[in-house]
Amino acid sequence: MKRKGILIALGVIVLLIAIFMLFRTDRLESGFYAMGTVPCKVVTYGRDMLEFDGDLSAVEGFVKRMEGVFNAHDKSSELSRMNRSAYDQPFKASGGMIDLIDESRGWVTKTRGSFDPSVGPIIALWKSAAKMDALPTKSEVDGALGLIGFNDFVKVEGHDVSFAKEGVRLDFGAIAKGAIVDGAVKLLRSRGVTGGLVEAGGDAFAFGDRRFRFGIQDPTSREKLMGTLEIGEGAVVTSGNYERYSEIDGKRYSHIINPRTGYPVKNDLISVTVTGGSAASADAMATALMVMGLHAGIELIRMNDGMGAIFVEQVENGFEVWVSKSLKSRLIPDGGWGKNIRTY
């Protein structure tokens, strides 16, 4: 009788352990789409399925809320409302908006204006040019150029944002995704997640003590990888010309604008992948490096401790890949890409 009781107790314990193991799968991953088409991914370690369910919906809710703040294509977003009214009277902005304005200011300075979220009027000009399939005139470009100057024209006092010039329009397309990824990681940490990854449309941040491998897209083919980059905690963000561009009069124009000239960036860079301590900083930097081009870009990234960059440059008969010394041993090239790698 006593033996039977022990056996039943053991059976119950085994069953409980099995149920526990079933729900406590170490790595959990899922995703959703933001803004309709931007794939977002959430990975956690050491969470059970119920906890992960909560983590995922918290991140999704956060991302959707931030869309309502920063989406330049949505007329009712906070950004659009601010763009319409901050010249006439101070606009009461949310904490998230004020934080991103503050963070952007630093990157405008560090990149000497290659990253500048006040490119809004130039973006609008080139968008309508693409729609009409006709290049903008020089005077149109010059007119819009006069409105670029984030650090001169955007004033913040407490939560009040005002524009010092009529027509100033902000566009956080080059940094918002990164900032949202950083915010989502902060949220996961506040829920007790100690390790994982958040990715939104190519902007990623990994945290905890695992190592992650990021696929770096082959700029010539969506289905292939140029290689994988292994990192511990930190951000990996890519900015590229190969996917988002518009066509005017049969010619391709980049979605990245040189804020000094008002023209879409035109250099030999196909893509730049940046690693760093936050996704927002890597995002701003990746866009700036695309604007600066290879040589000035290498100089700037060298000056920023804790950041690294992989530049893919188009050369006469193929590509060259320029990799920071600190990233060289962590980049595992695919296919024939190994022979094109240079370090700096």
Choose among Mg ion, ligand AMP, none what residue 79 binds, the Cβ cut-off being 5 to 8 Å by kind.
none
Helix orientation angle between 120-132 and 138-145, rounded to the nearest 10 degrees: 160
Q: Which residue, 113 or 308, has its beta carbon nearer to ligand AMP?
A: 113
Please check whether residue 114 is in contact with residue 291, taking contact to mean a CB–CB distance below 8 angstroms: yes
User: What's the token pair of residue 3?
Assistant: 């033996």
Q: Which residue, 121 or 173, has its beta carbon nearer to ligand AMP?
A: 173
Please check whether residue 254 is in contact with residue 265, taking contact to mean a CB–CB distance below 8 angstroms: yes
By CB under 5 A, residue 174 contacts Mg ion: yes
Looking at residues 126 to 185 of the shown chain, list those that interact with ligand AMP (rule: CB under 6 A). 171, 173-174
User: What's the token pair of residue 70?
Assistant: 């920063």
The binder of Mg ion chosen from 119, 287, 290, 322 (CB under 5 A): 287
Would you give the binding string for ligand AMP spanning residues 4-43, x where CB under 6 A is met? ----------------------------------------
Q: Which residue, 55 or 116, has its beta carbon nearer to Mg ion?
A: 116
Task: Round to whole Å and give the CA distance between 125 and 64.
Answer: 28
- The H or E element that residue 43 is part of is strand 38-45
First and final C-alpha spacing in the chain: 76
Q: Which residue, 104 or 239, has its beta carbon nearer to Mg ion?
A: 239
Q: 31 to each of 38, 42, 68, how far by Cα in Å?
A: 10, 6, 19
Please check whether residue 203 is in contact with residue 177, taking contact to mean a CB–CB distance below 8 angstroms: yes
What is the phi/psi pair of residue 85, to 5°? Answer: -120, -10
Please state whether 330 falls in left (phi above 0), alpha (psi between -120 and 50) or beta: alpha
Least Cα distance to 204 among 237, 240, 238, 239 occurs for: 237
Residues in contact with ligand AMP, counted by CB under 6 A, come to a total of 17
The binder of ligand AMP chosen from 62, 70, 91, 115 (CB under 6 A): 115
Q: 263 to each of 125, 135, 144, 239, 328, how far by Cα in Å?
A: 10, 10, 11, 17, 33
By CB under 6 A, residue 273 contacts ligand AMP: no
Task: Round to whole Å and give the CA distance between 327 and 232.
Answer: 12
Q: Which residue, 63 or 193, has its beta carbon nearer to ligand AMP?
A: 63
Q: Which residue, 60 or 283, has its beta carbon nearer to Mg ion?
A: 283
The binder of Mg ion chosen from 118, 283, 288, 330 (CB under 5 A): 283
Task: Round to whole Å and give the CA distance between 121 and 80.
Answer: 13
Choose among ligand AMP, Mg ion, none what residue 173 binds, the Cβ cut-off being 5 to 8 Å by kind.
ligand AMP
Q: Which residue, 174 or 206, has its beta carbon nearer to Mg ion?
A: 174
User: What's the token pair of residue 297?
Assistant: 């870009």
Q: Which stretch binds Mg ion (CB under 5 A): 7-15, 125-133, 225-233, 282-290?
A: 282-290
The binder of ligand AMP chosen from 59, 62, 66, 117 (CB under 6 A): 117
Would you give the binding string for ligand AMP spanning residues 282-311, x where CB under 6 A is met? -x--xx---x--------------------
Where do contacts with Mg ion occur on this chain (CB under 5 A)? Answer: 174, 239, 283, 286-287
Where do contacts with ligand AMP occur on this chain (CB under 6 A)? Answer: 115-117, 119, 123, 171, 173-174, 239, 255-257, 259, 283, 286-287, 291
